[in-house]
Every structure is written in C-alpha cells, then in structure tokens.
Structure 1
Amino acid sequence: MRTTGLPARKAAHSLLMQITTEGRLMAELITAGALSDLAPEDRARAQRLAADTLRGLDRADRMLKPYLKKAPPPHVMNALRLGTTELCAGEAAHGVVNAIVEIVSRNKRTQSMKGLTNAVLRKIAAEGPEGWNARAVPLLPGWLRQPLVAAWGRQTVSAMEAAHFASAPLDLTAKADPDAVAKATGGVVLPNGSIRVADAGQVSELAGYADGSWWVQDAAAAMPVKMLGDVAGLNIVDLCAAPGGKTMQLAAGGAQVTAVDLSKRRMARVAENLQRTGLQAELVVADALAFDSGQRDVVVLDAPCSATGTIRRHPDLPYAKDGAEFGDLMALQEQMIDHAVGLIKPGGRLLYCTCSLLPDEGEVQVEDALARHANLTVERDAITGPGIAPDWVTDDGGLRLRPDYWSDQGGMDGFYIAVLRKAA
C-alpha cells in the first residue's frame, strides 16, 4: 500500500542528508534537479519540509535527545528530525510515523532501527506542538554563533535567532510605483519603499509578475542602491551582479549600467529578469577581478561573502557550511575592493556591501580599505532615508542591517553597506 505523502518526505530527507553530510546548499541541489522527478505539489512540499526542519533543527534535536541513548546514524537522525518537525506542526501521527519508518527501513544499513524510529516518534507525537513550543528558540551552530556573540553580544544574537526561526515573508522592489504594486499583490509598502507580501504563494502567479512591474528582492538588499541617491545618467558598473536586483534598480533609476558576473548560468537569470521588466543593461560574463573597461562614475560591489545575513531565507546555510571558507572570502573581498577603486573616476564612488553578519566582511573591510587607499573617504551623509534608525549607522559611517530589525514587520536580511568617495 502506498504511504501518503511518501515521495515528498523522501525527497525532503534526501535534501537534509546532502545538506548536513555533504555540505551542499539547497538552492544548488534544486538547480541541479534534485526535485525534478516530483509532481509540482510534492516538489513544493519537499522543499518546505526540508526548510522547516533546518529552521528548527536545534529544537528538534533537543526534543529527541531524551529518547535516544546515543546519536543514531545520520540517515536515521535526519529522518527523526523530519518526523519531529511534522508531528510538532500538528500533522497526523499515523501518516508521519509510517512514512518516516518506511524511509528508515528502505536503507539496508538502518532497517534494523525502524522499531526505534517508531517508538521515538510515538513519544514525540505525545508531546506534540505543546512540547515543541515549550522549547527555547533554536540556536545557531557553534561555529557561527560564537563569532556572532563576540561581535554583537548574546542578547542581540538571540534576537537574530528568533528572526531566523520566524522565517521570511516575500519582498518585492517596484519598477516604478510601490503603492500600485502593493495594491495589486495585497502587500504593504515598507518604510524604504519595498513591498512585503505575506503568504505570497507561487511568485509567478502574483499580479504584475508577467508584465515586469516588480522583482523579488529582500528589503535589506534593496537598501544599498538607495544610498546612491539620484543615479540618472550615471555610468555605473555592477560587479558580481547576479541575480540582478541592484542592476534593475540602477537601470530603473536611469543609470547606464554594465552588469558583470562570473557565472554564465546566473547571468542568464539577470537577462531573463531584465527582459521581463523591460529594463536595459549591458551584460558581461567575466571575472570581476579581470574586468576593466575604463573608469566609471560609480562601482557597485556586492562582494562574495559568507551570506550569513540571509539565514532567515536560507536555513540550510549553517548546516551546509562550517566557516572554513571565511579566510579566503575575506581575502577575496580585499582584492575586489582594491580592483574596484581603480575602476572609479576621480570624484566617483564605490558602493560596497555584503549580505553578512560578520564585521570582518563589512566594517573591518572598509576600515582596512581606508588605510590602504588614502584617496578614499566614507560618505557619511549618504546613509540616510526613510526607515533607517540612527543606531543602524555605524561609527565608521556605514549602515549595519540585522535580521532582528523591523521585527514587528517580519525582519530583514543582514547587510553591511558603505559609500566610499574617491578624491577628485
């Protein structure tokens, strides 16, 4: 007899295994076709189940610990985490337990543990949502939590973790009229002009998608370009441009934009977005460090980083990574800043940003850049606009955004932003 919901649960379990044991990212797996053999509804459910499990993984482990004498193999542990997440969300115990036991029993190495799996999940079902809600907010893994606590303190990191656990609504950037987009999509206009849509469903089915009235972009990711003010007529290069949110903002503002990105596949997404929105930009597939086609009024550098600011939307990141790449990323950011400075006209500006919560990828990079380049200064007056609280502005004149900001409105991604002026 076919177990109801088994295909989606098997696929979610497979995603969890590859993320937690192989260090793969969910977006990477889905792009590679990990869910392509599923029906659309199962595909959406598998992705949601995996994301929900990762978002509450620490809480699931805390619930499971009293019922396990020792940690089972990863195949079983991830199945138990998946089952716990569903049971504590109120799913019917019969269907969940049967499906998870089947996932465990189909693996020859773990089929002897199906009895344990059944027994543990029955105990979890008895606790249910009440037991789940009684546990503390899930903590980030130690490799990431420790440096964040050192930077921001325990209270702030706890607030960030609460924002991560709460998930993220859908944010849009309007090509022209935020109020019209909000009315059409049922969203609300945030203080910075982004449109936030709760329970959006299928993005491509939202009003205005087909005619290119907006594009998906977290409210924090939309902030950097706004710090440039009026960009009409400026010649701007957007380094590391994909998926193109900032390129479209600049083009919509009337700038002459050259978008540069190393990935041909990701640049194809930029081209698709530009075509859908009817905006124009020159697209160049190239290494940002090798790109040089003359000096520009503005260089935008959203540098490759740890992406730790995006965990509320990408809960797989803390479990697919371990921080080993931080040193290389920071060295690359430094190289990119130095290269970008050479691409700016005298009197021009560098907009530097990273979607990171780590000061070493934001505040420290700008401090070091100023020490290396005597002709650079921070444009403190650029960091302004609706919705920006005074305490978001850093001592160095940059803008620090965190997931716990606008918490009553659904939070935002973590970002660091600075505008640097090159001497005339």
Structure 2
Amino acid sequence: MNKPTGPQNITGDRAKPRSGSRAGSWAKPAAAPVEHPPGLPARLIAAAILADVIGAGHGFDEAFGSETTQAKLNALEPRDRALVRSIVVVSLRRLGTIRKALAAFLERGLPKRSGNLEWFLVVTAAQIMFLDVPDHAAVNLCVLAVRTDPKSQPFAALANAVARNLARAPEGPADLDPFADTPAWLAARWKQTYGDAKATAIALAHRIEPSLDITVKADVARWAEALEATRLPNGSLRLTSHVPVPDLAGYADGEWWVQDVAASLPARLLRVEAGQRVADLCAAPGGKTAQLIAAGGHVVAVDRSAERLKRLAVNLERLGMSAETEVADVAGFSADPFDAILLDAPCSATGTIRRHPDVAWTKRASDIVSLAALQTRMIDRALGLLKPGGTLVYCVCSLEPEEGEAQIASLLRRNPDVARVPITADEVGGWSDCVTPAGDLRTLPFFSVLDEPPLVGLDGFFAARLVRKA
C-alpha cells in the first residue's frame, strides 16, 4: 500500500504502565497491573475515539477532549499521543477509501455483534495504507487490540487474516472515485450547487493535509522570515513546519494566532475604524475578535457558551488584548446599538472538512435546515442591534447555499432597510475567484492562494457585507 513519508513518520512508543495500589495490610493483594505491549494503548484509544465520532456522532474535539480520553492520553508518551491523533485524523479523512479496502477482504461483511472490530480494523488500515508504520506492527497490534474486547475477541482470526491481506495487497492505482471519501448526500449537494468539476475538486481537496495558517499582530515581514513562512496576499502567513504550535517562535509572546486564511477575511470586510463600538457575535474561540481589536475597535464578544468565552479570554490574554464579554444567546441579546457587527453564525461547517474531517461523518442534511432557520433569526436580531448606517458582516464556514447565498437573498427580499455593500477583490488579497457576481465572498477548498510558489487550499467560507440604511 502507498504510504506518505515525511511529517507523518510517527511510530508508537512504550506507554507508561499503571502502578498498582493496596487499600491496606488487611486488604487482598491488588491485581497485577495490566501492561500492554508497546503501542497498543495508542491503538485502543484511537479506536475508541473513532467509535465515539462515527458511531455516536460526536465531534472530534468533543471525543478527543473528554475527561476519559484525556486521562488515557496523559498516560502515554508524547509520540504515542501524536500517533493517536494521526491515526484518527487520517481514518476520518480517508474513511470511505479505508472501508472499501476492508470490504474487499470481508466477503460476508462485518460480523454482527462484533463489538469494536470495525474500529480496530479501520485503525489498522489507516496505518497500513496511509501512515509510515511498519506493516507487521500494525497487524500484530490489531490482533492484540481485538483480543481486549470480549465482543470482538471471537473474531481475532478474521481480523488477523484481513490485516495481513491488506498489508500484502499490491500497490494499485489511485482510487478513481474522487468522492470515495465523501458521504453520498454531500457529494450530491455539491454537484448540484457547483457542478461536477468543482464538486470533484472540493472532494479531492479534502483528502490533502492542510497547512498551518496564522494571523500576525504586526510586522508580517519579520515573522514571515522568523517562521520561514510564505506571506499570502491578504497578509496571512502559511507555514510548512510540523513543530507543535506552542513551540513556534512568537506564540508564547502573543505575536500571532492560528487562523485559516479564509477565516481571516470576514473581519477585514467590516472595515473597523479606531474607536468604533463593535460586536462579535458567536465570538469564541476569538480569532476574529483579535482582528477587530487589532483594527482599533472597542469589541464586545458575545457567545452562548461560558466555557467557550473562557477559552476566548485565555487566547486574548496570551495576545495581550482584552474585550468585553457577554454570555448570551444572540437571539435574545440586548445592548446599545453598535457601529459594526460581525456575525459568524453557527452552521454545518462543511467548509472546514479539510481541517475537521469528522464534520463529513457527523453532519446530516436535516442539520442544514435547522441551522438555516437559526441563522435567519440571528441575522434579524443582529440588524436590530445595529445603528442606522452601521455595517454588518454575516459569515459561515459552510459550502451550503442555504446557509450563505440563499440566506442573504432572503434577507434582502424581506427587509428593504438593508442593502448589500459589494466586496471587491482588492479587499480579499486580489482573489477575484472568491468574489461572487452579486458581490459576496465565496471561498472553496481548492482555490489557489498563491501562484508562485503554487499554494492551494483554504477553508470554504461565505460572507456578505450589509448596511442598515440611515
């Protein structure tokens, strides 16, 4: 099987064994701690996370950040923790291809009532097909993992056969189906919305590991040199380093923050002037809030989640910035009118699949309907918080027109007191492909952000700039 080399060259290290304890001299001797072979705990955790994301429908961050998972990860060596993340991410990014490969060696399909067998096999296939892990290690650890689960244990011989056949399979041509790793309902939507060629390009872009983009507070040229980064026309920096973010120069000193190039565009479109009173609605984790503060605005950051606002406050503290914060649902938020408002509304997040591949497998078509209704209520409320003559930028990290283009078309039909302020290519790095004929912003994952050197890829975003007529 074809495995990429380079930054994904990660192998498992020995996990720290758990220490036993005794309740007292009168107690029965404690059972000897179970010591797993090197690398096995990482595979078990990866399989459990996949079961939580794909099986239970929880988001990656939720599954990865749970107390139970974090406790298990903290018992691992750093390289094993990195391995868990690599296995889970590539499993989600290439899930369709992996399932197709496994199906070739499961003539009768997965056995019923086989516990976590599917997830153990997916974890194994991800290593054999896409990670630089020795095949024999992946196969052996697969069998050991299966034996830890009472429900999958009876199928250890089957797992061994499937894993070995997968490892022996000759390298073949790339999967000819560009939508193999895209749920059918999303592929159908994108073909209808963007046409076959663009839909195909979107699906293929989601297979590529994204680069790290950052937004710098000041002196972009200096930090481009210090971080050996490429400066993009909009002012973002793109890094190729795989050094952990906290270890990069300037992070601890609050000189920059992580932000996809597409996510950096909506705040710029607000054109905040020094001293203006600005609301950032649905503000956490705070990248756009930081942009508005850096532009000179007096920012009120609003989010319905107190925990997410705490995270925003921590991020701003690192950057040496501050903002007023309000824990509130936008639909019920009241305040004195603002000069400008940024509404980054809750959405299906299908534009972020390249960075968050779990989105493809946890979202449903019905989510788009309910989210579009919520967005409509939020836009109407945001306009009510805006001064006459004030500017509202509405944005979503979604590829779905119901959450973007159709949302704004509906607003303009029902509210004659609102007008669109067209966006120009000069405001978004000169990327004319990102500006729609109506004057809104629409980025797609396969768009180029630099011709020389050629750099492709950014999140899918929609944004519209509106003004409340005086």
- Superposition TM-score, scaled by structure 1 size: 0.95
Q: Quote the residue 2:239 is aligned against.
A: 197
Structure number with greater Rg is 2
Q: Quote the residue 1:270 is aligned against.
A: 312
Displacement of 1:260 after TM fit?
0.3
Structure 1: runs of 5 or more not aligned: none
CA deviations 1:121-163 (Å, max 9, x no partner) are 11111126x2374564443111222212211122211111111
Q: Distance in 2 between matches of 1:139 and 1:210?
A: 37
CA deviations 1:230-254 (Å, max 9, x no partner) are 5322211000000011110000111
Residue 210 of structure 1 pairs with residue 248 of structure 2: no
Query: Which of 318, 333, 358 pairs up with 1:316?
Result: 358
Q: Distance in 2 between matches of 1:18 and 1:398?
A: 37
1:105–1:239 distance in 2 versus 1, CA, 3 Å? same
Displacement of 1:395 after TM fit?
2.8
Is the contact made by 1:17 and 1:74 (CA closer than 8 Å) also made in structure 2?
A: no
Q: Distance in 2 between matches of 1:409 and 1:74?
A: 43
Query: Which of 165, 177, 195 pairs up with 2:219?
Result: 177
Q: Distance in 2 between matches of 1:200 and 1:176?
A: 23
CA deviations 1:56-94 (Å, max 9, x no partner) are 111112222221113215722222222111112342121
1:368–1:114 distance in 2 versus 1, CA, 3 Å? same
Query: Which of 85, 89, 99 pairs up with 1:51?
Result: 89
Counterparts of 1:10-409 in structure 2, within 5 Å, are 10-33=44-67, 34-38=69-73, 39=76, 40-72=78-110, 73=114, 75-89=116-130, 90-127=132-169, 130-131=171-172, 133=174, 136-137=177-178, 138-381=180-423, 384-385=426-427, 387-406=429-448, 408-409=454-455
Is the contact made by 1:383 and 1:399 (CA closer than 8 Å) also made in structure 2?
A: no
CA deviations 1:192-232 (Å, max 9, x no partner) are 11111113321111100111000111100001111123532
Q: Quote the residue 2:15 is aligned against.
A: none
Q: Distance in 1 between matches of 2:456 and 2:425?
A: 22
Displacement of 1:383 after TM fit?
5.7
Q: Distance in 1 between matches of 2:188 and 2:241?
A: 33
Q: Quote the residue 1:413 is aligned against.
A: 459
Residue 9 of structure 1 pairs with residue 47 of structure 2: no
Q: Distance in 1 between matches of 2:243 and 2:233?
A: 23
Name the stretch that deviates more: 392-401 or 216-225: 392-401
1:381–1:82 distance in 2 versus 1, CA, 3 Å? closer
Q: Distance in 2 between matches of 1:124 and 1:134?
A: 15
Displacement of 1:36 after TM fit?
2.8
SS at the partner of 1:149? Answer: helix
Structure 2: runs of 5 or more not aligned: 1-34
Q: Distance in 1 between matches of 2:115 and 2:388?
A: 56
Q: Distance in 2 between matches of 1:135 and 1:93?
A: 25
1:355–1:7 distance in 2 versus 1, CA, 3 Å? same
Q: Quote the residue 2:20 is aligned against.
A: none
Is the contact made by 1:383 and 1:398 (CA closer than 8 Å) also made in structure 2?
A: no
Q: Distance in 2 between matches of 1:93 and 1:354?
A: 42
The one-letter amino acid of 2:168's match is: A
Displacement of 1:119 after TM fit?
0.9
Is the contact made by 2:269 and 2:423 (CA closer than 8 Å) also made in structure 1?
A: no
The one-letter amino acid of 1:313's match is: R
Displacement of 1:387 after TM fit?
3.0
The alignment's C-alpha RMSD in Å is 1.7
Is the contact made by 1:168 and 1:410 (CA closer than 8 Å) also made in structure 2?
A: no
Q: Quote the residue 2:28 is aligned against.
A: none
Is the contact made by 1:59 and 1:132 (CA closer than 8 Å) also made in structure 2?
A: no
Q: Distance in 2 between matches of 1:135 and 1:367?
A: 38
1:355–1:324 distance in 2 versus 1, CA, 3 Å? same
Name the stretch that deviates more: 206-215 or 147-156: 147-156
Name the stretch that deviates more: 75-84 or 239-248: 75-84
Relative contact order (C-alpha < 8 Å, sep 6+): which is higher?
A: 1
Corresponding residue pairs, total: 423
Is the contact made by 2:313 and 2:322 (CA closer than 8 Å) also made in structure 1?
A: no
The one-letter amino acid of 2:98's match is: A
Q: Distance in 1 between matches of 2:320 and 2:48?
A: 39
CA deviations 1:245-273 (Å, max 9, x no partner) are 11100001111110000111110111011
Is the contact made by 2:146 and 2:153 (CA closer than 8 Å) also made in structure 1?
A: yes
